[in-house]
Structure 1
């Protein structure tokens, strides 16, 4: 394909991604499915003069699709973000497919760890990702990596709790901890009265799943170089170096880290990711960039054209550890009065630029009074701005967990977090 394209355009780049998925699904403490499937996508970049076009296809593009893209390129206006292809040679990185046949063992260990619950359901998923990159500048590279996560929902009467864990290999998953965490939370909730919250403001304790999710939202929208260039982000390049969040908060994208779920040797532009300190003790450190967005802001690319040649994206976020306890009951005592939210989903925005959002607490949430859980809260929703979230972080736990499940915007190594004076509603 590259030889064909080189005769038709000035520049071309092709990134091919193949993902082999192996999943064990379970319900009522029994495996219900062990399946595998493969997804292939191709990302194509073409440039002629300063005109550019991007094509994304499932599988390899057909000749008709390529011809259509070439025809469209002739009528394109000049691209204001155009930069010529270039950069270092991508570094090859090859891993053998991990032991997917041991996924049922993870499920059994998770179920065995959930002592005292009535039943559990969930899934363990291993993804084996292979990416090949080539461009007309003579750059070529290939990598293959493993990524695995386990998510589990446990039930006790009408109560439920969901936990998740992520790693790079099956042997690194501490599956029993997922079951233990669900069982512990349900034991705390068992027998407590139920109530609905009133709209207002409250102090919150957020689990790594929830806090990691919210930091992913910040990275996806506000630390995104394309959003900064287009004016969609809350921040501009002039905000870099300013205190914009709580001094307790440090968040670094660590897609480059081989131990992180989401580790990527090079992105869809062939650029190796580098660490990006989004917040460093509350100070805005920088943004996630492709080569195009970096050039537009006069900085260097960060290797975050992940799965897209247009829009940068976080690959794995790490929240810096704090000084608070990692024990849940001790965190309740530090919270004193407020609510504990263990999981969330359905995060929606009223305004992305201002960060006006809401997200629904999923499963068990607890009301805490005088440092002790006193009620199970149903239908709680966080409704505030991302700015208040990052500015109102008071304490972060010493203990962290590497987490991911399908509803998170990015994998994360996150802490438990205490936030003060956050908007809530039903």
Structure 2
């Protein structure tokens, strides 16, 4: 038997593939909103980011079906390959035609969103239990933490590489190189091995077909907050509030460092991370999001915004690791693709109203700082209102009836 807590070699192959894939993915996600903003203006930048989010929805639905039909590994290989080729086509076409094509750029964002929904939304969640089983919550926590460490580490490296490479090589060569790195991710993933889906039924854990709906709220909040940071908070705070384009990648970098710190602590000092329960991490995630919104929109301090972004990385990543491992352990392996599909879908759907509001506000001539402030107020109201509602419902439910 494997010693308790040991991570199989196949999972390290998966992490290597994730690291390479994330290098390319992060490069394109950092460049995309700024590139669109410079080429076509603010409204187009908002529209392309919204298109990415909308594309996650069909990606999640089809990803769940493909995982059940073809296996998570095959879905990963196909997704990484397609995403890498599409990302590579953007700089290649730009060089060949000598012009920025908004339609090609929009299409590449849609494909990226579709792949995100299939992989990050669904297939990724099945990898850990399919490699290590579901019986050991500690190993699932460590696996999840190592995943975030690999992904966030790659994002940090990508931000540094982009900042250093673009001034010397230019945008198109840098984008092409990072796309090639993304394509190379299929090599380690090709060699990883998954347990047969049926073997999970012979192990302890993983018997629940569903969980109470309120147990999904923390993960949904963390997913919504993560997407919001990347899709509109960081880029449009940098462009329209602080008027510093480079601050977008800096905010993401500080967020990434915070994520990396908590991921490494969870993986290698689990007792320290375990001092907070799942509910404790949920509270930390909500508090860190509120602090980030206050620092960036109320105080409008770049220094405090970066510090809050670091704390946001700690809060949201710790929140995701703990709650995701809870679902992976308790839910039966055959229902996990469906559950994570709907978590992905609802996380994206929650992010679309702010985009629609921002787009409508821009059409009516409102300023972006005002729009972001209204969105932040709504986020604060919901993030505090939902747990308050749950607490009141629980208290009233215990009280005398009639």
Length-normalised TM-score, structure 1 = 0.28
Query: Going by fraction, where is helix more abundant, 1 or 2?
Result: 2
Higher RCO (CA 8 Å, separation ≥ 6 residues): 2
Structure 1 or 2, whichever has the larger Rg, is: 1
Query: Going by fraction, where is strand more abundant, 1 or 2?
Result: 1
Length-normalised TM-score, structure 2 = 0.29
